[in-house]
Amino acid sequence: MTTFKERSAEFAEAAAKADTGRKLTLAEILEILAGGRLPLRFTAYDGSSAGPSDAPLGLELKTPRGTTYLATGRGDLGLARAYIAGDLDVHGVHPGDPYELLKALADQLVFTLPPPRVTISIIRSIGALHLRPIAPPPQEAPPRWRRVSGGLRHSKTRDAEAIHHHYDVSNTFYEWVLGPSMTYTCACYPRPDTSLDEAQENKYRLVFEKLRLKPGDRLLDVGCGWGGMVRYAARRGVTATGVTLSEQQAAWAQRAIADAGLADLAEVRYGDYRDIAETGFDAVSSIGLLEHIGVHNYPAYFAFLQSRMRPAGLLLNHCITRPDNRSEPFIRGFIDRYVFPDGELTSSGRIISAAQDVGLEVLHEENLREHYAMTLRDWCANLVEHWDEAVGEAGLPTAKVWGLYMAGSRLAFETGGIQLHQVLAVKPDGGGRVGDLPLRPWWTP
């Protein structure tokens, strides 16, 4: 076993070599930047290596192009580019679930800026050629400033393109990852050993009960995905209308509704929620849509949903949030370029304020953060189980994006970097009345 003393000596040797101006190997550069505290084994195409020789986890830099990606990509973007392009390999984990490797990096790897003389030596060793940005993998969306050709951020045309980028990968691919429920939002686990499909059904049950839906009611589900909430409500006698900006989702949902014999009660439309003309809905559910709306559009969003509800109607908003009210909402780096273009996350406090400011009365909110970590764990397990099929359907780079994204998101939910909040609100009538709502929560947790 490699001891800490031996690793510290390697770091000191690399730093001393840099101080003399001699060319450094790639492994020596990483040792210096990591302060000699590499939690895994690193090997590079130049024949160098660093970190514990017996480490169960490892990274292998295979090509000079990978060095360019790592040197020119800000934050996590360089590592993601090199990994997705095949220039950087992971060892000790499955690409469908690299959670343990990401956890080791997050827990133990801290990069520090070395002294100026050492920094200059690092730059010289890397070489000017590798400091010039090159074209990213084709799976990457353009930077935000270049997306303006598709319209202003959160305009209908640009939102449609962002949704297409993320959700129109392949319905078959999503079937492998999400399982039979085809539900791409946080599940709710009543017990630690509950299966993913049971937990997703329980989530729909929770939303249904919070909205006090009963046979004969009308439900509007905005951003309905593959129609899971719509079908759940229709099976219980509710007339349910869903809308999604993903053409593939809408087609899949429409077939599922027909196959289940629910066409007399359930409908899923392909289009923008802002084009819904009907009003007087008894309830509105928004499950995983707000992340795509844009914070500056919250007033218009909540005002529109309120305008579609009858007096004393209920609204449930379910979305990913930040843990504080200070962070800027923009999502950057890997998530913005490969997963959620134009996505924005903010705090539950800002969401509640926006709902209240248009006249909605907030009744209840809860954080399901740990449930989303478990959901992502189970999605990764599905991807690992069906890896060959998923790669065959969507291609290796896309499958790697999803494994990296889901494992990284699981870690973020576990550590509190992001959260998942459900906010329940009611539309008071002109006199401030809210119908016959019970005095205390009426649903089963």
Write out pLDDT tens, residues 235-265.
999 999 999 999 999 999 999 999 999 999 9
Which helix H or strand E contains 41, and what residues bound it? strand 41-44
Average pLDDT over residues 327-334: 87
Structure confidence at residue 331 as a pLDDT band (50, 70, 90) = confident
Residue ranges covered by each domain of the chain: 4-131, 156-426
Mean pLDDT of the chain: 91
Please return the burial class of 92, using the count of CB atoms within 10 Å of its CB with bins 0-12, 13-18 and 19+: middle
Question: In the beta sheet, which residues pair with residue 314?
Answer: 283, 426
Q: Which pLDDT score is estimated for 147?
A: 57
Q: Which two tokens stand for residue 169?
A: 């990968």
pLDDT at 150 over 60: no
Arithmetic mean of pLDDT, 145-153: 58
Backbone CA torsion sign across 309, 247, 214, 291 = negative
Amino acid 318: pLDDT: 98
* Weakest mean pLDDT among 166-170, 227-231, 268-272: 166-170
Instruction: Give pLDDT, residue 15.
Output: 56
Answer whether 72's CB lies under 8 Å from 134's CB.
Answer: yes
| Range 22-46 average pLDDT | 94
Please check the confidence at residue 302 and state whether its pLDDT lies above 60: yes
Residue where the block lists tokens 């780096």: 333
Give the closest residue to 10 by CA, choosing from 51, 59, 54.
51
Cα 390 to the center of its chain, rounded Å: 19
Instruction: Answer whether residue 6 shows pLDDT above 60.
Output: no
The answer, yes or no, to whether residue 89 has pLDDT greater than 50, is yes
pLDDT of 16? 58
Per-residue pLDDT averaged across 70-98, rounded?
96
- Mean pLDDT, to the nearest integer, of 33-55? 94
| Tokens 């995905």, located at residue | 225
Give the residue among 166, 110, 102, 104 at the shortest CA–CA distance from 377: 102
In the predicted model, is pLDDT for residue 196 greater than 90? Answer: yes
Report yes or no: 347 and 57 within 8 Å, Cβ to Cβ. Answer: no
Q: Which burial class, exposed, middle or buried, applies to 197 when counting CB atoms under 10 A from its CB (0-12, 13-18, 19+)? A: middle
pLDDT at 1: 43
pLDDT of residue 358: 97
CA atoms within a 13 Å half-sphere pointing along the CA-CB vector of 207: 32
- Confidence at residue 160, expressed as pLDDT on a 0 to 100 scale: 53
Check if the beta carbon of residue 59 is closer than 8 Å to that of residue 67: no
Averaged over 140-151, what is the pLDDT? 69
Between 92-96, 263-267, 328-332, 370-374, the lowest mean confidence (pLDDT) is in: 328-332
| Element counts in the chain: helices (H) and strands (E) | 17, 11
Calculate mean pLDDT across residues 385-405: 97
Output the pLDDT for position 166. Answer: 52
| Position 5 pLDDT exceeds 50 | no
pTM over 0.85: yes
State the alpha helices, DSSP H only, in 340-395.
348-357, 369-385, 387-394
Whether 27 has a pLDDT exceeding 80, the answer reads yes
pLDDT surpasses 60 at 201: yes
CA atoms within 13 A on the CB side of 10: 24
Distance CA 247, CA 171 (A): 11
Amino acid present at 391: V
Options 3.40.50.150, 3.40.980.10, 3.40.50.300, 3.40.50.20; CATH for 156-426 is 3.40.50.150
